[in-house]
């Protein structure tokens, strides 16, 4: 993509109303624009990052055995009345009426709708287990939307729902999702720590939040530091390994403030291992058994011919919140530093002098060769050197390929690593070899 043809409305100034660095940087890099309170337009650069994250989340769901479908954003109030949550959800739920005066709502989550689906299709133990997921916009009329897409009203969520015959199998599904979350956040370049948490309006008595440590986070957390050294194996057999791996992670007393008990913390965690911090909730998993299947009559016949409510859990990832969380975790005073896995462009190509025809010709040639092999943003504008370099640092593409007047006679280019700032000089020829046809 040529920068002269792209739509990247960057700002030099730090916007006054943005309090935290991710919100500031998302506005400065032209990723989002507020449409109304708590509702955002995803401009092309922001949209591209969102889609990258969404794809990684999707791939890891599929790897763990979940199956994608798509439920609508608008739901009928009827199912919510049956589950008893229509009143419970209160003012956070956006309620509407259609032209026939029927009560409808913009879904804040989909437990009711998917349970209704399960009641129609999963009648025998032979159809289970199943984990279904979708990636869909949600609406919650938050009292205090703030920090840009971090806590907003309209946001993109990946939500999965598990269906099993027995509680034991249900717990296995819970553990599979738990493990797939560890994997997902790792691929996104994040250290997200699972913590025992309250289940709130979703319900159930087994629940974990996945939290990225950040001073600007909204949750207060109490950690056993040793959990920070935990790793997950590269190869996972979800069926065989889930229980074992999850039990190792959950051994540590690591909790959000809703669950915090000072005595337990002090008795279970040695003083040198205690860490009290703030964090951002990027995912939340729940096991609630028959909380929804019972009132919505989602029953299954087990192997012995006994009919009973399906065992369920739900598993959420804040896809749009992750964009902000990644920036909170990965930036410096110059701007964003995208992990390779989520950057919309693999390379930035910078032609420092657009008046030097020979240089422009060389850069155009390099651009053409690279374009077919990777995603590249080519600064072909006539801006000043300083402006060009600052802009590329601001938007955070992991590798910058820089060419100036001297590149012509030296037949070389600079490869700058955005994260470390290290610059490597390489001959144009050697660099282009990577992009030659096989």
Among the listed ranges 152-160, 357-365, 382-390, 392-400, the one in contact with ligand P5A (CB under 6 A) is 152-160
Contact status: 155 vs ligand P5A (CB under 6 A) = yes
Given the complex with ligand P5A, which of 110 and 242 has the nearer CB atom?
A: 110
Q: Is 292 in the site for ligand P5A (CB under 6 A)?
A: no
The alpha carbon of 358 is separated from its chain's Cα centroid by a whole number of angstroms, namely 43
Coil, strand or helix: which one is 89? coil
Among 31, 157, 195, 413, binds ligand P5A (CB under 6 A): 157
Please report, as residue ranges, which positions from 293 to 352 form the binding site for ligand P5A (by CB under 6 A). Answer: 314-316, 318, 321
What is the closest distance, in whole angstroms, from the C-beta atom of residue 288 to ligand P5A in the complex? Answer: 10
Q: Considering the rule CB under 6 A, would residue 60 count as an interface residue with ligand P5A?
A: no
DSSP secondary structure string for all residues of 340-406 = GGG-S-SEEEEES-TT-HHHHHHHHHHHHHHHTTS-EEEE-S---HHHHHHHHHHHT-SEEEEE-TH
Which lies closer to ligand P5A via its Cβ, residue 147 or residue 253? 147
Residue 115: CB minimum distance to ligand P5A, A = 11
Least distance CB 322 / ligand P5A (angstroms): 7
Beta carbon of residue 316, minimum distance to ligand P5A (angstroms, whole number):
3
Beta strands in 218-310 (DSSP E): 219-224, 255-256, 274-289, 299-301, 307-309
Count of positions on this chain that bind ligand P5A (CB under 6 A)? 20
**140 lies in the binding site for ligand P5A (CB under 6 A):** yes
Closer residue to ligand P5A (CB): 296 or 397: 296
Give the whole-angstrom CA distance, residue 307 versus residue 298.
10
Give the nearest distance from C-beta 354 to ligand P5A in angstroms: 41
Q: Which is nearer to ligand P5A, 159 or 224 (CB)?
A: 159
Binding flag, residue 85, ligand P5A (CB under 6 A): no
Distance CA 19, CA 42 (A): 19
Residues 192, 99: Cα–Cα separation, whole Å: 45
What gap in Å lies between CA 353 and CA 348, rounded to an integer? Answer: 15
Distances (CA, A) of 226 to 259, 262, 273, 275: 19, 18, 7, 10
The two structure tokens encoding residue 8 = 């990247």
Q: In angstroms, give the least distance from the CB of 59 to ligand P5A.
A: 18
Supply the minimum distance, in Å, between the C-beta of residue 227 and ligand P5A.
19
Distance set, CA 414 to CA 200, 342, 403 (Å): 52, 23, 7
With CB under 6 A as the contact rule, the residue among 43, 53, 152, 223 that binds ligand P5A is 152
Taking CB positions, which residue lies at the least distance from ligand P5A? Answer: 318
CB neighbour class for 36 (10 Å; exposed up to 12, middle 13-18, buried from 19): exposed
Cα–Cα distance measured from residue 149 to residue 154, given in angstroms and rounded to the nearest whole number: 9
In the region spanning residues 188 to 217, those forming contacts with ligand P5A, defined by CB under 6 A, are 202
Residue 75 to residues 69, 97, 293, Cα–Cα distance (Å):
16, 11, 18
DSSP state of 218: S
Based on CB atoms, which residue is closest to ligand P5A, 57 or 370?
Answer: 57
159 touches ligand P5A (CB under 6 A) = yes
* Span from 6-14, 276-284, 337-345, 378-386 in contact with ligand P5A (CB under 6 A): 276-284
Binding site residues, ligand P5A, CB under 6 A: 109, 111, 140, 142, 151-152, 155, 157, 159, 202, 281-284, 286, 314-316, 318, 321
């Amino acid at each position: 993509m040529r920068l002269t043809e792209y739509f990247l409305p960057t700002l030099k100034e730090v916007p006054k109303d943005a309090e935290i660095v991710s919100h500031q940087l998302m506005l400065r890099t032209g990723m989002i624009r507020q449409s109304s309170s708590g509702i955002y337009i995803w401009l092309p650069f922001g949209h591209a990052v969102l889609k990258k994250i969404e794809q990684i989340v999707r791939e890891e769901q599929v790897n763990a055995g979940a199956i994608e479908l798509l439920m609508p954003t608008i739901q009928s109030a009827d199912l919510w009345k049956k589950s008893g949550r229509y009143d419970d959800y209160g003012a956070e739920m956006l309620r509407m009426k259609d032209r026939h005066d029927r009560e409808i709502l913009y879904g804040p989550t989909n437990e009711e709708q998917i349970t209704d689906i399960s009641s129609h299709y999963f009648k025998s133990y032979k159809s289970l287990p199943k984990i279904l997921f979708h990636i869909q916009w949600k609406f919650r009329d938050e009292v205090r939307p703030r920090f840009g897409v971090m806590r907003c009203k309209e946001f993109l969520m990946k939500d999965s729902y598990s269906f099993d015959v027995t509680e034991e199998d249900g717990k296995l599904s819970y553990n599979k999702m738990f493990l797939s979350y560890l994997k997902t956040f790792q691929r996104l370049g994040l250290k997200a720590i699972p913590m025992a948490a309250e289940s709130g309006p979703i319900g159930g008595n087994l629940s974990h939040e996945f939290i990225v440590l950040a001073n600007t986070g909204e949750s207060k957390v109490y950690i056993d530091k040793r959990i920070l050294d935990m790793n997950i194996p590269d190869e996972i057999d979800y069926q065989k390994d889930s229980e074992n791996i999850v039990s190792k992670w959950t051994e540590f007393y690591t909790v959000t403030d809703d669950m915090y008990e000072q005595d337990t913390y002090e008795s279970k965690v040695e003083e040198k291992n205690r860490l009290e911090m703030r964090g951002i909730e990027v995912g939340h998993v729940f096991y609630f058994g028959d909380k929804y299947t019972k009132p919505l009559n989602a029953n299954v016949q087990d192997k012995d011919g006994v009919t009973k409510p399906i065992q369920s859990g739900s598993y959420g990832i804040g896809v749009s919140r992750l964009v902000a969380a990644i920036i909170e975790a990965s930036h410096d005073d110059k701007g964003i530093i995208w992990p390779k896995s989520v950057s919309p462009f693999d390379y930035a190509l910078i032609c420092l002098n657009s008046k030097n025809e020979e240089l422009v010709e060389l850069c155009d040639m390099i651009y053409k060769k690279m374009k077919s092999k990777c995603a590249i943003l080519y600064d072909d504008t006539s801006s000043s050197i300083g402006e060009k370099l600052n802009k590329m640092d601001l938007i955070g593409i992991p590798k910058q390929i820089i060419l100036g007047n001297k590149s012509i006679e030296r037949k070389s280019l600079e490869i700058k690593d955005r994260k470390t700032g290290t610059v490597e000089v390489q001959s144009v020829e050697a660099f282009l070899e990577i992009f030659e046809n096989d």
